[in-house]
């Protein structure tokens, strides 16, 4: 995965998390996870998890928390 792709995925995930930070705390984690599960193709989620598995540099804490609920695609 290229550095540019990683930066773009981090930016996109953080934008989703930033939106859900304005929502009630009880729906934040599920909101982020549901959005990514619904709208991100498996390749994007796979690349997000590759980044998370390397420490998730740059991701907001809410994205890291939501990663426990995001569906991890089967390795390519």
pLDDT digits (tens, 9 = 90+) for 3-12: 889 999 999 9
Q: Is the pLDDT of residue 2 over 90?
A: no
Residue 56 sits at φ, ψ, to 5 deg, of 70, 30
Element (H, E) at 50: helix 42-53
Q: What are the extents of the domains in the chain?
A: 3-66
Average pLDDT over residues 14-24: 97
Enter the pTM of the model. 0.92
Residues 46 and 5: beta-carbon distance below 8 Å = no
User: If you count DSSP H runs as helices and E runs as strands, how many of each does the chain have, helices first?
Assistant: 4, 0
């Amino acid at each position: 995965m290229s550095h540019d792709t990683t930066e773009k995925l981090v930016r996109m995930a953080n934008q989703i998390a930033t939106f859900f930070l304005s929502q009630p705390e009880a729906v934040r984690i599920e909101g982020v996870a549901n959005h990514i599960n619904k709208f991100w193709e498996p390749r994007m989620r796979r690349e997000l998890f590759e980044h998370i598995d390397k420490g998730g540099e740059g991701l907001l804490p809410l994205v890291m928390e939501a990663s426990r609920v995001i569906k991890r695609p089967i390795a390519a």
